[in-house]
Structure 1
Amino acid sequence: MKKFTFIKKFLVLTMFVGFLGNYANAQFSLSGEVRPRMEYLHGYSTLTDKDSDPAGFASQRTRINFNYSHDRVKMFVSLQDVFLWGAQPQLFSTSNSVSMHQAWGQYYLTPSLSLKLGRQELVYDDERIFGNSNWDQQGRSHDVALLRYNGMLRIDIGAAFNQNEKHLNGAYYNLNNYKMMQFVWLNTDVTDNMNLSLLFLNNGYQYDYVLNEDGHNHQKTKDVYNQTLGGRLLFTPGDFNFHASAYYTMGKDTKDRELSAYYVGLGAEYTLHDVWTYGIGWEHLSGTDQKDMIENPDGYKNKSFNPFYGSSHKFNGFMDYFNTNGNWANSVGLNDIFASIQYSKRNFELNLTGHAFLTAASVIKDGNVNETMEPFLGAEVDLTMSYKLSNTSNVVLGYSQMFGSETLQAIKGGDNAAWNNYAYLMFTFKPVFLK
């Protein structure tokens, strides 16, 4: 379908805002976001070689957000353009990079019960299973129907069914995404300083395979499903913050293999004088032994946990070595032991976090399935500094260093003795044009 240019969409949206201004009781706002980020990479997400040159680029996210509310109706539209600096010639006629990040309408059946339909972000708890992946310039959103109840017990019931084109027959779906998804999220305040969330998630994927019948190969397709159950407990007595999460996934993976995986996360923070915050934690994502994957590549039992739609960059180090939505999917899992210290005062914030990474399953040595390597993967140090320039803008500077092991090198390649680091500088401008 032909796309409007970004300018056309902005003008249409602005005129729509002006039209809605005729409604005296309506509330609306028009806001924006411009977020350029300059990045230096030398061993980001995977170990580099000693003789490899570093990479560098600048990317930018631009959003125009419209928010409308009147009577029982709410509506939100977010147009987005994500691009690399220099990726387009200075003279160009059209651009197809503009997308619809969010576009949803919400109707309140009662003051506490509503139906929310359309493309929207799904953000729950600490964003481990559902998050908006805000670090990624494109972000994450879902085309979903959401029934929401907001009372002493908060309930969200969501359902999605994806198709990449209109069909007159059947429901074939050939994108690398879930075909259908349903979830139920429950949340309640157990006490004044204790909060409990429970989650049930059902994923449906289309699996394409070849079936040999009578000496002939036939392309076949079927739907496979997996289910995730779990929850999160948050306890905040005084200046302390304790949290624990656990999830279990069962069913079939995207390749129709048996799936049985789990996740456990524990953490604690202590804030001193509203300035210093000290934190410790541990995460365990179950994994699959490499021996099993090699000996039975098509039929092994998948024990690797996948947090599916979470904000992966928030977890397991900012260098994204263990992003289970990408390069660490269906792997040997992960144990992450981490500690952090944060200084925050007025408009300035400084954060230092250290990680020690270990595998959760065995890694074979030199192709010998009867010999395994040490589980230690490496250590990472993340340093970030942020400063609030104004009420609508801020700047963040970050530096990360990975000290990889021979085990990490065996899994990812590259050279663990090389200098593997990553740095970035990011500005965010979020003005409100109309309110």
Structure 2
Amino acid sequence: MAGVQFNSKFSMKVGRQELNYDDARILDNLDWAAQARSYDALKFAYQDSLMQVDGVLAFNLSGEIPEPVKLFNNIYNSPGGFSTLGGDLPNYKNLQLLWFKRQIKKSNFRLILDNIGWQMPDSTVSYLLTTGFNSKIVVNTKIDINGSLYYQIGEDIADRKTEAYLAALNLGFKTRSSFRYKLGFNYVSGSEAWEGANQSSSFDPLFGTHHKFYGLMDYFYVGSPHNQSGKTIGLWDYYLGGELTLREAFKLLLTVHGFSSSVSIINQTLITENLNPHLGTDLDLVFNYKYSADINFKTVYSQYVGNFKYGNYKVRR
């Protein structure tokens, strides 16, 4: 990677680099994984004391299949990603991004416009546009609110006409200096079984760190497409959590997620019957010890409780 600092406010970077925007919901560097994620891109950035604006252009050529998360492969023998089962790594052919951030005291407002071109087997390119905002409002020293709303339109990686949504809200508050609560929800739209083969209402969260939002066991948007009729059924995720500071270096965190489908789940053997939309409950317990400014230890216990089956996907206790 090479970079140029034109002046105190305007800079440029070109080459393989990390991109990390907003709360890592849509596009980020996946730095919790050992291999992380990088992008071959040209990035222009402007920043002053009140706002920041980034513009990104990226283009991928065909090549050898690389380490799975390195965005270099451009071989699309069959669709992959979260909208369908199987297939090659869902890398883009080209990407154009515009990002804006406005700082207002301790609160901020961020807007993103992300256009991704997927190359089809016949060498045509289908485009999926994702736009939306993420905002953090600091009410006072004890209460803060985080909210996100995104809209997708265009064609997904399987070249299906797509219109989809994602919404999220998180409320954090302290009752005293050592204890902090959080509660909120994530909504990711999904596709009904009766939707046409060339249509999709499934939101693709693209290159975000899904592990951060939908439970630490990675059942959703990481380890499985959780689909029916070849399309993701979406997700309702309600959660409640607490963080207890035992001492300055010790923290205990507990989060409980309740998962449901955002659409009807059809019984595959009796299509006139709908199954229970509840997908399970995830409990995540984390013990955190900060040894120094550069060294941090975490011990995690997670338990997922669910017992259901739809399509080819089954969740076990």
How would you bin the TM-score normalised by the shorter chain? 0.7 to 0.9
Instruction: Give the corresponding residue for 1:335.
Output: 236
Gaps of 5+ in 1: 1-103, 167-171, 209-219, 421-435
What's the C-alpha RMSD, in Å, of the aligned pairs?
2.0
- Inter-CA distance 318–144: structure 2 relative to 1 (3 Å threshold): same
Task: Determine which of 195, 206, 217 is the counterpart of 1:319.
Answer: 217
Deviations 1:167-216 (A, max 9, x none): xxxxx941631010010000002x323311000000001111xxxxxxxx
Residue 270 in 1 paired to residue 173 in 2? yes
Instruction: Give the corresponding residue for 1:154.
Output: 52
- Inter-CA distance 310–110: structure 2 relative to 1 (3 Å threshold): same
Q: Is this contact kept in 1: 2:235–2:261, CA < 8 A?
A: yes
Q: Which structure carries more helix by proportion?
A: 1
Q: Is this contact kept in 2: 1:195–1:234, CA < 8 A?
A: yes
Alpha-carbon separation, structure 2, partners of 1:328 and 1:342 = 30
- Inter-CA distance 290–347: structure 2 relative to 1 (3 Å threshold): same
Cα distance, 1:415 vs. partner?
6.0
Deviations 1:270-313 (A, max 9, x none): 12433211000111000001233xxx44x2x1111111111111
- TM superposition score normalised by structure 2: 0.86
Q: Specify the SS of the correspondent of 1:313.
A: helix
Alpha-carbon separation, structure 1, partners of 2:291 and 2:98 = 40
Residue 291 in 1 paired to residue 194 in 2? yes
Larger radius of gyration: 1
Task: Determine which of 150, 160, 184 is the counterpart of 1:247.
Answer: 150
Task: Determine which of 172, 176, 183 is the counterpart of 1:280.
Answer: 183
Sequence identity of aligned pairs in percent? Answer: 30
**Structure 2 residue identity aligned to 1:274:** S
Alpha-carbon separation, structure 1, partners of 2:62 and 2:177 = 49
Q: How does 1:22-41 map to 2 (within 5 A)?
A: none
Q: Is this contact kept in 2: 1:376–1:405, CA < 8 A?
A: no
Which protein has greater RCO, CA pairs closer than 8 Å, 6+ apart? 1
Q: Is this contact kept in 1: 2:256–2:281, CA < 8 A?
A: yes
Instruction: Give the corresponding residue for 1:74.
Output: none
Alpha-carbon separation, structure 2, partners of 1:415 and 1:347 = 36
Q: How does 1:370-389 map to 2 (within 5 A)?
A: 370-389=272-291
- Inter-CA distance 415–317: structure 2 relative to 1 (3 Å threshold): closer
Cα distance, 1:165 vs. partner?
4.1
Q: Specify the SS of the correspondent of 1:187.
A: strand
- Provide the aligned length of Structure 1 versus Structure 2: 290
- TM superposition score normalised by structure 1: 0.63
Bigger CA drift: 383-392 or 177-186? 383-392
Which aligned runs of 4 or more in structure 1 are off by greater than 3 angstroms? Answer: 411-416
Instruction: Give the corresponding residue for 2:82.
Output: none
- Inter-CA distance 413–305: structure 2 relative to 1 (3 Å threshold): closer
Gaps of 5+ in 2: 65-72, 77-88
Q: Is this contact kept in 2: 1:193–1:237, CA < 8 A?
A: no
Q: Specify the SS of the correspondent of 1:377.
A: strand
